[in-house]
Amino acid sequence: MSLPTTVDPGPIAPMPGPVWPPGSVLPGLGPVTPRRLPGSGPAPEPAAATPFARLPRTLDWAWWRPLIALVIGGVLALGASMVVFVAGVTIAVLVGDADSSLIGLERYINSLLVLDASDPLALGISLASIAVWIPAVYLALLCAGMRPLGHVTSVAYRMRWGWLGACFGPAGIAMGASVLVTFGLFPFLPGGAYEPDWTPLGELAAALLVVLLLVPFQAAAEEYVFRGMLPQALASWLPWRTKAWRWVPFLVPTAAFTFSHGYGLWGLLDVTVFALAAMWLTWRTGGIEAAIALHVLNNVVAFGVLGSGVLGSTENAAEGGSPIALALTAATSLLYVWLVERIRRRRGLAVTSPWPEVVTR
């Protein structure tokens, strides 16, 4: 029996080594320079810095790429939301929550617009229809050739999970203070007395489970759109050296976020305060993690309190809001911003990218 002939496989491709962050110091080797850029061009000096809003310009930049991403992202997000909505209404018909007649469907759809926080299916439809924006954002950026896709998350071009986790502490403090003031002070104010209409425990447990499972994705999806993708697109088009233009990508997405909520005047002002705090934190920390943490806990607490029936109603009324509630939102938002800023400085968090902007073409 002859031995098998040895075949020369040719040169073996080297295994890719780790990509060290700029300025990293390895024991015995000293400072290292990254092997690859997020976009193209030579490796930068560590002193180069690009703010979060301008990260698209550190990639393979062309003015039309963010435009293509916004158009494709909008179409995908709308399409995905419609799929979730239709699937949810179909389930409602199958389980008997909605009548299959045209009048019955119209009534159920109208009821979804006035979200009942004690209804697990209605909550699931509402939250999931927004959560699907996350894959829409990533697919849109991929189609537009804006890689690495993590630039929409932070200056590290990825989710900084440790920093996200650190932000839940101050978010919990801020929301805890909000709940204590709400139930400790409001009942003693004129018109502030509550008449609870408690939700049955089984229904409440089901609703809370839906909230805990879907709110993190729903809140993150809104941050990816209104604090990530949209501001970055606007900032990448504007002359950044002119400081007056820097307010455009700050204020326009804030206004878009505000008017995406169908509330009355006081409710819209409340959302605006929240949006301003979230946008400020995004730019100050170089990523959307701090905004996600606050958004998640805010929505979990809001849906939990509303769904319990302690306020007398479980519906998210459009006319909700008041000057006192607005003042409370402003105070707790400022508290959260102050706490996050202290933690950011203590941790020495990088808030800019070391990758420079590429030459405009």
Q: Rounded CA gap, 330 and 313, in Å? A: 24
Return the pLDDT at 359: 62
Other Cβ atoms less than 10 A from the Cβ of 194: the count is 13
pLDDT value of residue 131: 98
Classify residue 337 as exposed, middle or buried by CB count within 10 Å of its CB (0-12, 13-18, 19+): buried
DSSP string, 266-311: HHHHHHHHHHHHHHHHHHHHTBSHHHHHHHHHHHHHHHHHHHHTTT
Closest Cα partner for 329 from 279, 275, 250, 293?
A: 275
Q: What is the pLDDT of residue 293?
A: 98
- Note the pLDDT of residue 207: 95
Contact between residue 152 and residue 134 where contact means Cβ atoms under 8 Å apart: no
Paired residues of 341 in beta bridges: none
Each residue's pLDDT tens digit in the chain (361 positions)? 443 343 444 443 443 444 444 444 444 444 444 444 555 444 444 446 899 999 999 998 999 999 999 999 999 999 999 999 999 999 999 998 888 888 878 888 888 888 889 999 999 999 999 999 999 999 999 999 999 999 999 999 999 999 999 999 999 999 999 999 888 876 666 556 677 889 999 999 999 999 999 999 999 999 999 999 999 999 999 998 888 898 999 999 999 999 998 888 899 999 999 999 999 999 999 999 999 999 999 999 999 999 998 888 888 876 667 888 899 999 999 999 999 999 999 999 999 998 888 765 5
Contacts of 195 (CB under 8 A, 6+ apart): 312
